[in-house]
Amino acid sequence: MNFFKQYNMKIKNLRFLLPVFIFLVLVMFILPYYSYEGYSIIEHTTSLLGAQNTPNAWVMNLTFILLGIAIFLESLFHLKQYWIPKILLNIFALGLILVGIFQHAPLMENMTYNVVYDDLHSVFASLVGFSFIIFAFTTVFVEKTNFGRILAFLVGISVTILSLLMFNLSDFAGLWQRLMFIIAFSWLIFFLESIRLRKNC
């Protein structure tokens, strides 16, 4: 019995998201050199790295799916008592998985692609954005310190602004999105770690 209890504790203390986040950063900045010619880190989003009929698209799509799974596991083990943030984070995780399954239309013109997949990708990408922003703002009421509350609020504001910039200054959409991902996932790792440490106190 003690063996299973200790094993369960070890599983719960694993950092699922951190290694996948590191992988995401590497993929965001390295995969463009192994995608199609003309892809721009500054201009083009990560969705276009995973677009239909795109070289090595499976790498980006696998990354989205792994992110979703890692976040779901983190939520399962560490947000049990915070059911509203947990639901929102699970929606965020599900959205990431579905973004990886239903791919964006290819950037290259005159290529055949599945229009339904492209439409679903847009829906799930929007779900990812909205659910994360709402999640960040709800954690303001979960955090126990003023620093944590202010940080969560600033992350929510930052992700909102960067999302708007992606649409209004689309020539820099790739830059805005990469910055948004780095801010969002870095904070999420910090937030989950603070919850983990709080439970172990």
pLDDT tier at 163 (50, 70, 90 boundaries)?
very high
Percent of the chain with pLDDT over 90: 78
Residue 194 CA to residue 181 CA, distance in Å, equals 20
Angle at 47 between CA 41 and CA 51, to 5 degrees: 110
pLDDT tier at 196 (50, 70, 90 boundaries)?
confident
Query: Looking at 7-11, 79-83, 148-152, which range is the least confident one?
Result: 7-11
Q: Give the burial class of 60: count Cβ atoms within 10 A of its Cβ; 0-12 exposed, 13-18 middle, 19 or more buried.
A: buried
In the prediction, which pLDDT does 4 show? Answer: 43
pLDDT tier at 111 (50, 70, 90 boundaries)?
confident
Residue 70 CA to residue 38 CA, distance in Å, equals 32
Mean pLDDT of 47-64: 96
Q: Would you state the structure tokens that stand for residue 179, as one six-digit string? A: 């910055």
In the prediction, which pLDDT does 1 show? Answer: 47
pLDDT above 60 for 5: no
pLDDT tens per residue, range 56-89: 999 999 999 999 999 999 998 888 888 999 999 9
Residue 161 CA to residue 182 CA, distance in Å, equals 14
